[in-house]
Structure 1
Amino acid sequence: ALVPDRPAYLVNRDHHGAWVNSRALQAAGIDARTPDPADGRIERDADGAPTGMLQEGAANLIGRLLPPVTLEQRITGLLRAQALMHSLGVTAWQDALLGEHANLTDPTDAYLATAADGRLTARVVGSLWWDRSRGTEQIDELVARRTAGTRGRLRCTTVKIMQDGVAENGTAALLGPYLDGCGCASDNSGISFVPPLDLQKYVTELDARGFQVHFHALGDRAVREALDAVEAARTANGRTDTRPHLAHLQVVHPDDIGRFRELGATANMQALWAAHEPQMDDLTIPFLGPERSAWQYPFGDLQRSGATLAAGSDWPVSSPDPIEAIHVAVNRVLPDAAPGTPVFLPEQRIGLDAALTAYTAGSAYVNHLDDVTGSITAGRLADLVVLDRDPFAAPTEEIGATHVLETFVGGERVYAAG
């Protein structure tokens, strides 16, 4: 009714699904007879007709029909994103998706263009997207893209493997079934996008070729499958310096906490998500149940186990502001939470020093930049951020009020407030 005259495609905030209208379904030939793809789900009404909600890989059925984005538009978007990052004190990042996937346009050529002419002022590691519809035959292509993607401040030395989805739509891979609306076990345990034994084979070969592997691992089954793949690679290749990391870690089985340190797998936190808010309270906790809900974002347990912690935002899924996320890592409450909001799993809080380290030295480590930046040390590059206050000098409840005044990359000022 709102958009009757042309196809419409609206992407979820988390990029794990899309909402489309009837014209879009018609354009893609999707109807009640269309089967769910292996890596996604078409939501249907009681008669089996598609409702317009497409989860995970099902969104690709429409996404492939989107009009192309020009190189000029991609460069404009990249530079706008870079300016935002610098304003928040970000001097370097890992882009989790360089390649073609769903509705997302590959930004590699924009990175290469700006790296060549000096407009890329941040230090960027590009994660080359693993095509889960293919196997090891794509690795030679990834090696070639790694060579071509090393220019200026860009290094495409990582491969991103999306092992599962998200809990809110029931696609995060769990060791046991989700609960239904009545609190009973359902017939759904989520999706492992790459079969576990195949994952071990792929990661072992990627590791042997010198790639870092960046896992999207959100559910406890996906976390275990990713750790098993790292273990297989370590067994076959020895302990190399490829620094694999698992991102998101929403639900981690207690038996797997110690494996991060044992295997040298970095725990890549998105700390902003570890708080009570509607997505957590309405769409997650009721469907995980009390036991698994208590395993969410176990930053404290991981730190106590000796795991290496790194941290990022997963922007544009949520805010890229490190200060907001550090506030949550320390307090397990959002900076703007209403008075009386309960602390989310308070035993998983970490100290301000540990949180700041994860967002500086930890991220430098996971990006293989720890020999040149990540700490204020004589002889290292002057990648520096000036804050408007000492966050250690006030109560932890005030961390979120901190603001960036200036950002420097390699001694060059790339942002100044006002």
Structure 2
Amino acid sequence: MKKTSVLLTCMVITGLLSITGETTMEPVTTDSDQIFINGDVYTMNQGMPWAEAVAVKDGVVVAVGSNSEIAEYIGDATTVNDLQGRMLLPAFHDAHAHPIWSGIDQLKCPVFGSPSIEAIQNEVKKCLDSHLTKSTGWVVGAGYNLGLFPAGNAHKSLLDAVSSEIPIYLDGEDGHSGWANSKALELAGITADTPNPELGIIEKDPISGEPTGTLREPAAISLIKAIIPGNDLELFDDGLLFAQNLAHSFGITSIIAASVGDQHLAAYKRLAEKGGLNLRMITSIEYGNTGFTLGPGGFEEVFANRQQYQHPRINVDSIKIFIDGVLEGQTAALLEPYLNTGSMGELNINPAELNQAVTRFDQQGIQVHMHAIGDRGVRAGLDAFETALSVNGPTDNRHHISHLQLISEADIPRFSELAVIANFQPVWGYPELYITEINLPEV
């Protein structure tokens, strides 16, 4: 028996305590790998919500009970973890995350949490001499708060003040906006004459027609990213490890990766084959041409070959559909116009195609994960699930719509009626600047 003391304020075990029924004890047939004693164990079992101790074998909880009951599972090789009265509870599942993107963002020039434009500029200045900047000739970062700028329109001159010679590009914290300085725009060939790409917006000065430096949605952002040296692929493995460590620090042990392409799948598989993937992943392969993750092969090629990435910790039977964009860029699809422009946003996918695609995947047993922020986008998603239900009948695919920033009251009951999970993110309930200064005045 090996004994350790656990000094954490909160301990988490993957898959802990999915035990039902009146008893939590099984006949002792083998010694456990680990036991946890002297804890406040929250079991999720209504019949016995609290316990003192837990026994674990091969990564599975085999018994929950009192210290004396769990002592029967101690063998010569069992590690005994003394919780010293601290709480042990089930691990958390994050139902919508972008682990690799998030990790890479932290490894470049992160400006997350910068409270002012000056603070962002100071962070970018620090990155001018970074190893990554010296190797690529660019400053590339992420995390600026759109709420610091009028209508979320960050101007190129503010980055020019940091450097007009080195190209600078930052992703917005919303993941749907980008900010470039004049040098980056020049290298990308973005001028007053450059038209908006399909499903993208190049913000321009209403008087001069010159690009302001703000780009909306991947179709426009990719005009810059396509010319940045040092593809993100070089950072995928390090980004994934960073994100995995961060997830574990919050007690998260399983994640739905909300939009992946073949490069992401390959990174997960590489880490898994090395024995280093300590997250259970559901990977949602990006459908369509919205440009977030897919390489030149496109969706059908990645989807057809997805089983090569299957692993006990990687589920590849999920797809991601971006129905619309975001409110702060006025690319989210609304049932009524935005108050200050009269625009209603747009759907990224034709409703007829959406209905057909969802019906197809539902029939194949594939989980459909949708991004929908505007109420028209949400309705289009629900309509597609309703079509699939009428064709295929009920399934247990656990389809879900993420974000749901605006929902028509008439559509709220449809989630239950169609067995669609409402996958909310509470970040939009927080009175952040881009909510109070951009979203609310627009809608």
Please give the TM-score of this superposition, normalised by the length of structure 1: 0.63
Q: Distance in 1 between matches of 2:270 and 2:226?
A: 25
SS of 2:252's partner is coil
Contact 1:71 1:109 in 2 (8 A): no
Contact 1:36 1:58 in 2 (8 A): yes
Q: What code does the residue aligned with 2:316 have?
A: C
Contact 2:333 2:373 in 1 (8 A): yes
Contact 2:261 2:302 in 1 (8 A): no
Q: Distance in 2 between matches of 1:133 and 1:251?
A: 21
Match of 1:99 in 2: 261
Q: What code does the residue aligned with 2:181 have?
A: N
Match of 1:62 in 2: 224
Match of 1:44 in 2: 204
Structure 1 residue 133: Cα displacement? 6.1
SS of 1:192's partner is coil
Structure 1 residue 231: Cα displacement? 0.9
Contact 2:199 2:290 in 1 (8 A): no
Q: What code does the residue aligned with 1:157 have?
A: D
Match of 1:213 in 2: 368
Contact 1:164 1:173 in 2 (8 A): yes
Match of 1:3 in 2: 163
Match of 1:258 in 2: 413
Contact 1:244 1:266 in 2 (8 A): yes
Contact 1:139 1:206 in 2 (8 A): no
Give the direction of change, closer, same or farther, for the CA distance of 1:238–1:119 in structure 2 (3 Å limit). same
Q: Does 1:114 align with 2:271?
A: yes
Structure 1 residue 68: Cα displacement? 3.4
Q: Does 1:124 align with 2:286?
A: no
Q: Distance in 1 between matches of 2:270 and 2:170?
A: 29
Cα shift readout 1:317-344 (whole Å, capped 9, x = no counterpart):
xxxxxxxxxxxxxxxxxxxxxxxxxxxx
Cα shift readout 1:37-92 (whole Å, capped 9, x = no counterpart):
12111111112111111111211111222223465632121111111101101010
SS of 1:256's partner is helix
Q: What code does the residue aligned with 1:153 have?
A: R
Cα shift readout 1:359-398 (whole Å, capped 9, x = no counterpart):
xxxxxxxxxxxxxxxxxxxxxxxxxxxxxxxxxxxxxxxx
SS of 1:109's partner is helix
Q: Does 1:203 align with 2:358?
A: yes
Q: Distance in 2 between matches of 1:12 and 1:37?
A: 19
Q: Distance in 2 between matches of 1:14 and 1:145?
A: 30
Cα shift readout 1:291-324 (whole Å, capped 9, x = no counterpart):
xxxxxxxxxxxxxxxxxxxxxxxxxxxxxxxxxx
Q: Considering fraction of residues, name the structure with more strand.
A: 2
Contact 2:325 2:332 in 1 (8 A): yes
Give the direction of change, closer, same or farther, for the CA distance of 1:34–1:253 in structure 2 (3 Å limit). same
Cα shift readout 1:154-204 (whole Å, capped 9, x = no counterpart):
111111111111111211111010011xxxxx3211121111121111111
Equivalent position to 1:236, from 375, 382, 391: 391
Q: Distance in 2 between matches of 1:3 and 1:190?
A: 34
SS of 1:258's partner is helix
SS of 1:107's partner is helix
Runs of 4 or more, structure 1, over 3 Å off, are 68-72, 137-140
Structure 1 residue 18: Cα displacement? 0.5
Match of 1:168 in 2: 328
Match of 1:292 in 2: none
Equivalences, count: 276
Q: What code does the residue aligned with 2:252 have?
A: V
Equivalent position to 2:400, from 220, 245, 259: 245
SS of 2:305's partner is helix
Q: What code does the residue aligned with 1:47 have?
A: S
Contact 1:248 1:269 in 2 (8 A): yes
Structure 1 residue 142: Cα displacement? 4.1
Q: What code does the residue aligned with 2:210 have?
A: A
Structure with bigger gyration radius: 2
Q: Does 1:147 align with 2:307?
A: yes
Q: Name structure 1 gaps, 5 residues minimum.
A: 101-105, 181-185, 289-418
Match of 1:20 in 2: 180
Q: Distance in 1 between matches of 2:325 and 2:311?
A: 32
Q: Distance in 2 between matches of 1:225 and 1:247?
A: 13
Match of 2:337 in 1: 177
Q: Distance in 2 between matches of 1:78 and 1:133?
A: 23
Q: Distance in 2 between matches of 1:199 and 1:55?
A: 23
SS of 1:58's partner is helix
Matches within 5 A, 1:282-297: 282-288=437-443
Q: What code does the residue aligned with 1:55 have?
A: R
Q: What code does the residue aligned with 1:250 have?
A: Q
Match of 1:405 in 2: none
SS of 2:301's partner is helix
Q: Distance in 1 between matches of 2:273 and 2:313?
A: 9
Match of 1:156 in 2: 316
SS of 2:285's partner is strand
Q: Distance in 2 between matches of 1:12 and 1:91?
A: 27
Contact 1:218 1:251 in 2 (8 A): yes
Q: Name structure 2 gaps, 5 residues minimum.
A: 1-159, 292-296
Contact 1:126 1:156 in 2 (8 A): yes
Q: Distance in 2 between matches of 1:67 and 1:158?
A: 31
Q: Does 1:278 align with 2:420?
A: no
Aligned-residue Cα RMSD (Å) equals: 1.9
Give the direction of change, closer, same or farther, for the CA distance of 1:157–1:23 in structure 2 (3 Å limit). same
Percent identity between the two aligned chains: 41
Cα shift readout 1:66-122 (whole Å, capped 9, x = no counterpart):
22346563212111111110110101000112127xxxxx42221011111221011
Farther off after superposition, 125-134 or 161-170? 125-134
Farther off after superposition, 203-212 or 47-56? 203-212
Q: Distance in 1 between matches of 2:386 and 2:317?
A: 20
Contact 1:97 1:129 in 2 (8 A): yes
